[in-house]
Structure formats: C-alpha cells, structure tokens
Chains A and B, each alone.
Chain A
Amino acid sequence: MLKRKIGKIALGFTAAFAASAALANVAQARDLTIVSWGGAYQDAQKKVYFEPFKKAAGIAMNDESWDGGVGVLRAKVQGGAATWDVVQVESDELAVGCEEGLFEKLDYSKIGGEAAYIPPSVNPCGVGAILYDFVLGYDKDKLKQAPSGWADFFDTKKIPGKRALRQGPKTTLEIALMADGVAPKDVYKVLATDEGVERAFKKLDTIKGDIVWWKAGAQPPQLLASGEVAMTSVYNGRIDTANKNEKKNFGMVWDGALFTLDSWVILKGSPNKEAAYKFLDFAGKAENQSKLSENISYGTSNKDAAAKLSPAVLKDLPTAPDNIKNAVEINVAFWLENIDRLTERFNKWAAK
C-alpha cells in the first residue's frame, strides 16, 4: 500500500517537473529592459534618461547592468527568449555582434535621422551613446610633481611608486608605444608590425615589477585612493565622479588618451522593438544628452548636444577640442584581428 503511494507521489513529481519545464519555455510578455554599465554612470542615466522617459512616454521599463562581453549577448540571443531589449555595448562588441547578426538593423528614421548624430556614432547595428577616454589618472594630494603624459608614467625615477594598467594587451600596448615616443596618430601603424609589438613589450619590461593590473573600471579610483599606485590608466568619468561625489583630488592627463564609443543596440528578436525605438529616440535628443554630460563627464553622440552645455562643463569632456587634440581612437578592426594572438603573447610575457 505504502509502496504504491510512494510510486504515485514519484509520478506526480515527474509530471510536475515536466510541466514546469514546459512552462519555462513559454515566452512571457515583459516590460522594456535596458542594460547599461552600472555604477555612477548608470545612476546618471537613470536620472536623465530612464526616469524622464518613463514619465514622458508612459512606457513601463526596467534597467539592469552588465560587465560586457559579446559572448554574453551571443548566449542571450542564441538561447532564445532573451530577457534584454536595449543594451549599451562597446565598439568591439558592436562590430562582432553586428557580424554575427545578434542585433536588429537600426531604422534611423525612427530616431531622428543619421544627420542628427556625429559620424563615428552612426552604425547600421547601433547608435552612439557616449564617447569616453582612457586617461592617465593620479592623486594630486599624493604626487609632488604632476605627470605630463605616458612617458612620465614609465619614469619611476621621476615619479616613484607603482602603476596600474588594464590587464590584457588592449590599451596597454598603445600606451607603451606612446610612452616610447610614438606619435598618437602612428600608434596602430607601428603596432601592426612585429617590431612594433616587440617595442611595446620592451617598454613594458622597464616597469614590469611596478605594475598592478586592474580588471574592472571601479578598481583604478580605489587603487589611487588607497595609495596602492601613484598613477593608473582609468576611464575619465570615474575620476570626475570620485572628485565630485567622494571629495577626492584626482587629476588626469588628456594628452595621449585613448578614446572609444559605446553604442545602444536592440537585441535581435526583441518583443519590445517599438518601445526600444522610442527610448533610443528619447536618449538621442540633444537636450537630453546635454543633461547626461552635466552629470558625468562623457561626450555624447548628438551633434547639437555640446552647444547646449556651459563652457565649464565642456572643458572637462573628452569631446572638448583641447582634450581630443592628441587622443587616439581605439582601433576596433586591429583588435578584432589580433586580440587572441596578442592576449596569448601578453600572458606569456606576464608569466616570465
């Protein structure tokens, strides 16, 4: 008797399990979901984009954050029933994802037309959101002498102490070449040759023992604040936020900065495409973008956004003429071709 009962219970379990598995596959209608990079940046976006958009358009939406990686997007889209609609991606994610067909082709007529945006931010799969820099950051309170560029970054006699760089070859090799005297405009020309790669690693060898490697954008300001390093490569917005919100006295060097664009994309097969377009249109308007720059010092993609800003805000943006004069755009095509090989090379070098 008892045995039969147990058998029935087990069968019941099996049925319930099968039913719940089937239910999980049923796509549910859900609110528009927008994904960005978290931290101080997403707080600013909430304030000037997400909340006002909800009010203005009357569309329910929620926002999440992620740490990047085109593999994440591939898994989302190929797995079916992706839970995200609009994602902010880096330039290499935009290129690879576009090639792999992970994003919807954008209809620019729904977001104000291509002419409304600066040319580098117009892409068939995505539209520019912000322009930002990797700059040399340091703590003004701790350094007697302010560094003037990447050459000083590698000069441990002039400015003693440890340095922090982003772990991996990307940005690191460019910085090493500029420190070795390569002009910003020639960096990728030199790096495309084997001698150029040798030269970069040779330069890195000179401070190898003094480098701390960071992995997440939140780490460099912490490394500066704790006095662990004297100088670091860092996203310019993080320096600005630390100064504003945490009363730090950090400085940065624009000369030889590396800049890149982040873009908004709509994931392939999104059930909320119309709402997504409405959001991109909202976030693409000059008056909304200028508010973002006022909250966090990143440049934006709308041609007319900068004109709406006060000179005090403008001078700290990556897009200010003086700041972009000697900056290098990170070369997506170069890194798509060489990232695997140079990552292996970098790790070989690091392990020596």
Chain B
Amino acid sequence: MTTSSLTGADASTEVPLKRRLRRAERARQVKALALVLPLLLFLLFTFAGPIAGMLWRAVDDREVRHVLPQTVAALASWDGKDLPNEDAFAALASDIVAARAAGTIAIAAKRLNYALNGFRTILTSTARNLKAAPEPGAAKETLSKINAAWRERATWTTIKDAGGPVTGYYLLSALDLMRNVDGAIIAAPPDQAIYREVFTRTFVISLSVTVLCLLLGFPVAYLLAALPPARSNLLMIFVLLPFWTSLLVRTCAWIVLLQSNGVVNDSLHWLGIIDQPLRLIYNRFGVCVAMTHVLLPFMILPLYSSMKAISPAYMRAAASLGAPPVTAFLRIYLPQTLPGIGAGSLLVFILALGYYITPALVGGAADQMISYFIALYTTETANWGLASALGAVLLLATLLLALVYGKLVQGQQVTGGMKN
C-alpha cells in the first residue's frame, strides 16, 4: 500500500489520514473477498456443510424421543436404581398405542435394538398385543404380562439412554465402548468389539502402502529428475498412465494377474518354480500390491518436483571435498528431498486411509478397511449414526496426523532442515 495517492485535492481535512487509509484498505479487502466468494460459497455448500452434517449425525438421537415422548419425559426423573414407577409404565403404554396408530413403532424399535439386541421384538410384540391403553394403575402388570422384558432394569435404562436429544452412544460404539446398566463406560463385549481393530488395520495397511510407494517411487523420481528432458518426458507418461485409467479397471487387472490361474502363477508354474499356485490375492498381499500400484504417482510427483530443484553442483561439491557416494547421498542429497518425501507420504497415506473399492475386490474378509464398514452402515443397514461416528473418528485421526506432519516440516524449508 503506497501513501503517495493520499495527498490528492479531494482529501478532506475533516477525516484524519489514518481513517482514510483504513477505509481504502477495507474497500480493497471487500473486493478481494468478492473475488473468492464464489469458491468460498461452493466449499461451504459442498464440503463444510456435509461434513458438519455428518458430525451432527454422530451425536443426534431424537428417534426415540419422537416416538415415545411421554415415556422419555417420565423417565427423566427416574434414578435408574429399581424399576420405574407405575407412571412410567402408563406413559409407555399410551405411547405405544399412539405410535402403533401412527405406524412409527419400528423407528424407535430399530434405534433401541442397536443398544439392546432383541429390543425390536420386545417393542413390536408389545405393540401387537396391547389392544388399548390399560386401566389406570394396571399398566405395570399388563406390560409385564405381555413381555417379561419390561420387568428388567436394562430394558428401561436402554430407553432412558436413547432418550436424546444428543447421545454419545454411537461415538462410544465406534471406539468399542458402551455404557452398562449403571451408566458407567465399559468395554464392549469381545465378540462385538471390532472397530479399534479395524482402525488399526486401516492405519497399518495405509502405512505399509506408503512405505512401499516410497521405496519404489524414490528411484523412479530420481531417474526422472536426472534424465534429459526428452527421455524423462516419455517416462513421465508411463508414471501418469495410471492416472488416466479407471481405478476399477486397474483393480480388476490385478485380479487377472494374481489369481490362482492368473498370469503370475501360470508363469511361475511354467518356469518350474512352483508346483502349487501361490495365494497372491484375496489376502493382505494382494491389497498392498494393488493399492501401491494405484497410489504410486502421488508419491512420485512430489518427489520429482523436489528433486528437480536440487542443483547437481551440491553432489559434485561433496565429492570434491572427499565424501564417498553413500555419505554424500545421505548427508547432502537426501535431506534436500525431505519436503518431497513428506508431502508424498502424507498424500499417499491419507488417500490410502479412505480406500474402499480396491480392498473390497482384492482383499479377504480380514482385510476390509474402515471405509467398508462406513459404506455397510450407510447403505445396507442404514445405521447412519454409527456410520457417522466411524467417519468422525477417522476424520479426527487424519486431522491429528496432518497436524503432526505440519509441526514436523515447520522450519524445514527447501534447505531440508540444514541451517543456512
């Protein structure tokens, strides 16, 4: 901002210079904002909005409150120690009769069944057998006769827990935790505790793929950066080729290559190296191979751009000062490629975290990543609360990783951490 234009004839002496400066500055900011506004709105509508919606769904819990309003209100004052009093039973009975007429019983039944397996039957059978609201004072007896579950404390604590309007239930489930009858947070039963394992598996597969991409991509990027342009351009086309083929096609190509009677096994058999076909697919090996192939360009491109910027004079200087090639590489070349390594690894790792199609097609049942479960709960069982909670946990973990990366590379600019 220059100040030379501020001594014009129209400059009124009333308004101090400082304020006019601020005004001019503000006008500029508004214009700049107007320029980015379309993009900003677009991002808000298509990116921030849906993510906020997803996070909200992970804690939103209004189904039971909507279907059984009187019961939820009656249980608000219940201490959860013994069975609730007659009023709560009466409230439940009248809610069930009303909900049956409105056809909304199943909505509450579905939500309660997540927390207590079998609740769907309890609620639907009670609704079927409860012809009309019971006599005053006889609600407890009537309901208990229809279904013994109404004499259980756990049945009622489940309703109280699901009373909403917000809940930690889905988020706890996504971390293999649950609340017991007394409301204390405990570990989920072992045969239902799978999500920590799946998150771990997701991170392990992503990390293996990242390491494989780095090991395979580094020499290729070096070659690309070192060759004369004419030849490196040809090579670059090969690197970019996977970008121009559909993910599905590439994954299916790996199935053709790796299956029992596939190209790889047949070749090995023909060469007499193996008698029995190797199991290369529908297991962890197949997933890592296919995902590495798909994600390799994302590693090579950042590496290539950081290597392009390194002057060959550095290595020559190191050699002239007596450094053996290995030392020169480790102390001079490698540190300068660190930003490329960091960017490529982060890109590949975060992309790998969300992979769905490839593990689904070339993995076994023990190789399904978290995306498989998110998809399962989103489309098939329509348990959107749990799907959102799993998504929220994944998002948080990814953000933490990105933050850690940001901290690590801070101050390590193109000098690769070497202080000038």
A-B interaction? yes
**Can you report 21 A-B residue pairs in the complex whose CB atoms are below 8 A from each other?**
A7-B30, A7-B34, A7-B35, A10-B37, A14-B38, A18-B41, A21-B45, A69-B379, A70-B380, A71-B381, A71-B384, A74-B384, A213-B364, A213-B365, A228-B261, A338-B117, A347-B373, A348-B191, A348-B193, A351-B197, A352-B366
Please give 15 more A-B residue pairs, beta carbons under 8 A apart, in addition to A7-B31, A347-B198, A350-B365: A6-B31, A7-B30, A14-B38, A67-B379, A68-B379, A71-B384, A101-B103, A227-B261, A337-B120, A338-B117, A344-B192, A344-B194, A347-B365, A348-B193, A351-B201
Decide if B366 touches A351 in the complex (CB within 8 Å): yes
Min distance, Cβ A198 to any Cβ of chain B, angstroms = 10
Query: With an 8 A cutoff between CB atoms, is B155 at the interface?
Result: no
Decide if B383 touches A17 in the complex (CB within 8 Å): no
Decide if B382 touches A68 in the complex (CB within 8 Å): no
Q: Report the Cα distance A228→B376, complex, angstroms.
A: 26
Query: With an 8 A cutoff between CB atoms, is B259 at the interface?
Result: yes
Query: With an 8 A cutoff between CB atoms, is B378 at the interface?
Result: yes
Q: Known interface pairs A100-B106, A213-B282, A341-B192. Does A17 touch B379 (Cβ–Cβ under 8 Å)?
A: no
Decide if B117 touches A341 in the complex (CB within 8 Å): yes
Query: With an 8 A cutoff between CB atoms, is B42 at the interface?
Result: yes
Within 8 Å CB of B259, what residues of A? 226, 228
Query: With an 8 A cutoff between CB atoms, is B118 at the interface?
Result: yes
Query: With an 8 A cutoff between CB atoms, is A167 at the interface?
Result: yes
- Please report which residues of chain A, range 216-233, place their CB below 8 angstroms from some CB of chain B when the two chains form the complex: 226-228
Query: With an 8 A cutoff between CB atoms, is B114 at the interface?
Result: yes
Within 8 Å CB of B382, what residues of A? 69-71, 74, 96, 100
Within 8 Å CB of B110, what residues of A? 96, 99, 336
Within 8 Å CB of B262, what residues of A? 226
Closest 8 CB pairs of A and B: A69-B379, A99-B106, A350-B365, A10-B34, A71-B379, A71-B382, A13-B38, A7-B31
Decide if A14 touches B364 in the complex (CB within 8 Å): no
Within 8 Å CB of A101, what residues of B? 103
Query: With an 8 A cutoff between CB atoms, is A55 at the interface?
Result: no
| Majority DSSP secondary structure for residues of A touching B | helix
Q: Quick one: CB contact mask for A167-211 with B, threshold 8 Å, 1 for yes?
A: 100000000000000000000000000000000000000000001
Min distance, Cβ A345 to any Cβ of chain B, angstroms = 5
Min distance, Cβ B387 to any Cβ of chain A, angstroms = 8
Q: B28, B38, B192, B380: which has the most chain A beta carbons within 10 Å? A: B380
Min distance, Cβ B277 to any Cβ of chain A, angstroms = 10
- Please report which residues of chain A, range 1-21, place their CB below 8 angstroms from some CB of chain B when the two chains form the complex: 3, 6-7, 10-11, 13-14, 17-18, 21
Using CB atoms, name the residue of chain B closest to A172. B365
Within 8 Å CB of B197, what residues of A? 348, 351
Q: Quick one: CB contact mask for B3-34 with A, threshold 8 Å, 1 for yes?
A: 00000000000000000000000001011001
Min distance, Cβ A92 to any Cβ of chain B, angstroms = 9
Query: With an 8 A cutoff between CB atoms, is A43 at the interface?
Result: no
Decide if B107 touches A100 in the complex (CB within 8 Å): yes
Q: Report the Cα distance A167→B282, complex, angstroms.
A: 12
Q: Report the Cα distance A228→B45, complex, angstroms.
A: 46
Decide if B381 touches A343 in the complex (CB within 8 Å): yes
| Majority DSSP secondary structure for residues of B touching A | helix
Using CB atoms, name the residue of chain A closest to B190. A348
Within 8 Å CB of A72, what residues of B? 379
Using CB atoms, name the residue of chain A closest to B262. A226
- Please report which residues of chain B, range 262-307, place their CB below 8 angstroms from some CB of chain A when the two chains form the complex: 262, 282
Interface size class of A (residues with CB under 8 A): 35 or more
Decide if B38 touches A10 in the complex (CB within 8 Å): yes
Q: Report the Cα distance A7→B36, complex, angstroms.
A: 10
Q: Report the Cα distance A339→B117, complex, angstroms.
A: 10
Query: With an 8 A cutoff between CB atoms, is A275 at the interface?
Result: no
Within 8 Å CB of B118, what residues of A? 337
Decide if B107 touches A226 in the complex (CB within 8 Å): no
Min distance, Cβ B79 to any Cβ of chain A, angstroms = 29
Decide if B380 touches A68 in the complex (CB within 8 Å): yes
Query: With an 8 A cutoff between CB atoms, is A215 at the interface?
Result: yes
Query: With an 8 A cutoff between CB atoms, is B368 at the interface?
Result: yes
Decide if A227 touches B260 in the complex (CB within 8 Å): yes
Decide if B282 touches A212 in the complex (CB within 8 Å): yes
Query: Of A71, A162, A228, which is within 8 A of B380 by CB?
Result: A71
Using CB atoms, name the residue of chain A closest to B363. A213
Min distance, Cβ B282 to any Cβ of chain A, angstroms = 5
Min distance, Cβ B372 to any Cβ of chain A, angstroms = 9
Within 8 Å CB of B42, what residues of A? 17
Within 8 Å CB of A228, what residues of B? 259-261
Min distance, Cβ A8 to any Cβ of chain B, angstroms = 9
Query: With an 8 A cutoff between CB atoms, is A51 at the interface?
Result: no
Decide if B368 touches A340 in the complex (CB within 8 Å): no
Decide if B34 touches A347 in the complex (CB within 8 Å): no
Decide if A14 touches B34 in the complex (CB within 8 Å): yes
- Please report which residues of chain A, range 83-121, place their CB below 8 angstroms from some CB of chain B when the two chains form the complex: 96, 99-101
- Please report which residues of chain B, range 345-376, place their CB below 8 angstroms from some CB of chain A when the two chains form the complex: 360-361, 364-366, 368, 373, 376
Query: With an 8 A cutoff between CB atoms, is B144 at the interface?
Result: no
Q: Report the Cα distance A108→B75, complex, angstroms.
A: 43
Query: Of B35, B377, B379, B383, which is within 8 A of A6 by CB?
Result: B35
Min distance, Cβ B362 to any Cβ of chain A, angstroms = 11
